[in-house]
Homo-oligomer: A and B are copies of this chain.
Amino acid sequence: MAQVAPVDEHLAEIQRAAVRIRGHVRRTPLLKTDLAPGLMVKPESLQVTGSFKARGAFNAVLSLVEREPDVAGVVTHSSGNHGQALAYAARAAGLRATIVVPEGVTPAKIAGIRSYGATVVTEGVTYDNREAIAEAIARTEGLRLIHPYDDWDVIHGAGTTGLEITEDVRSPGALVVPIGGGGQISGIALAIAGLSPESALIGVEPEAADDAAQSLRTGILQTLPSDPETLAEGVKSKSVGERNFGVIVGDALVREIVTVSEDDLTDALRVAWMRLKLAIEPTGALALAAYITGRVPAGTTEHPTVIVLSGGNFDPATVAALLSA
């Protein structure tokens, strides 16, 4: 397991990250809704590039340029929100970006990444070899690999969401955050541990991708035997990263990890669109699904439950099908 620095050092890094990325990312609002008075939602779908990933990507890219002013560029393996966010942040910092994407990913995603000026490498890439290919490109082209979640700069950037929540609501009863590789929840965990330790931090996974729940239960980093089948494609990673495991399980900063079914998730996605009026992607509805199904505390006006809607880069055909069902 990667060594974990004391929580207060991480909090200081998150506070530095907030200063570093200010002006590049957006301070998303914390919203009330018509659903319940004890609920508040943090829509990272309204973030630059449509997801929370912009926070980590900007912190990683800007930190890299501070440390290595002559660096040529960055590379990563992500066909999703991290790929788009890194491409966007690299361009803003004047760096090259190469994004390694498995063959067969939808053309819309590749077009999205290219629209931010990045090079897309797809030939011969699979879900299993993409990390190795990204590492090889980093070596041969002198680029720095920015891992989607197992990277302290990325984690500290994601943690700025936690700073904003505790600025906007003094004492949240619970914070509910999706878990894929664990970048977002470990960042928020390190912020909350220092600023609002009495708040319960709760992770949410699809039932089909419950590796983090298993890891928390067993105390050992668990890996899914195969790629999970879930509508929440942003959390399809087979395990959390080592650094993320260290925070979530090693430091015991996540109180509980709950799971939701695919039906719960589609119900929640409809509620997000129809009742919250927020156009989010399926992964973004995970925490809402946990709330609606009563798997997390209902919250009160004084100590609300805050749910993080992680992103809004939905596939229009998927949403069209759900809304016409």
Contact = CB atoms under 8 A, between A and B. Distances in A.
Interface of A: 26, 29, 31-32, 34, 43, 45-46, 48-50, 272-274, 276-280, 312, 316-317, 319-321, 323-324
Contact of A29 (B29, B316, B317, B319): B29
Contacts of A272: 279
A316 B274 contact: yes
Nearest to A316: B323
Is chain A's binding surface mostly helix, strand, loop or mixed? helix
A46 B312 contact: no
Given A34-B49, A277-B280, 19 more contacts: A31-B46, A34-B48, A43-B277, A46-B277, A50-B277, A273-B319, A274-B316, A276-B279, A277-B312, A278-B278, A316-B323, A319-B319, A319-B323, A320-B321, A320-B323, A320-B324, A321-B324, A323-B323, A324-B324
Contacts of A276: 279
A106 to B, nearest CB: 14
A274 B276 CA distance: 16
A277 B323 CA distance: 16
Smallest CB-CB A-B distances: 9 pairs: A277-B312, A320-B324, A29-B29, A320-B323, A316-B323, A320-B320, A45-B277, A279-B279, A273-B279
Nearest to A277: B312
A320 to B, nearest CB: 4
B29 A31 contact: yes
Contacts of A279: 272-274, 276-279
Contact of A316 (B45, B50, B324): B324
B34 A50 contact: yes
A276 B312 CA distance: 9
A320 B274 CA distance: 12
Residue among A31, A277, A316, A321 facing the most chain B CB atoms (10 A cut-off): A277
Contacts of A45: 277
Contacts of A319: 273, 319-320, 323
28 contacts: A29-B29, A29-B31, A34-B49, A34-B50, A45-B277, A46-B277, A50-B277, A272-B279, A273-B316, A273-B319, A274-B279, A274-B316, A277-B278, A277-B279, A277-B280, A277-B312, A278-B279, A279-B279, A316-B323, A316-B324, A317-B324, A319-B319, A319-B320, A319-B323, A320-B320, A320-B323, A321-B324, A324-B324
Nearest to A30: B29
A50 to B, nearest CB: 6
A280 B274 CA distance: 9
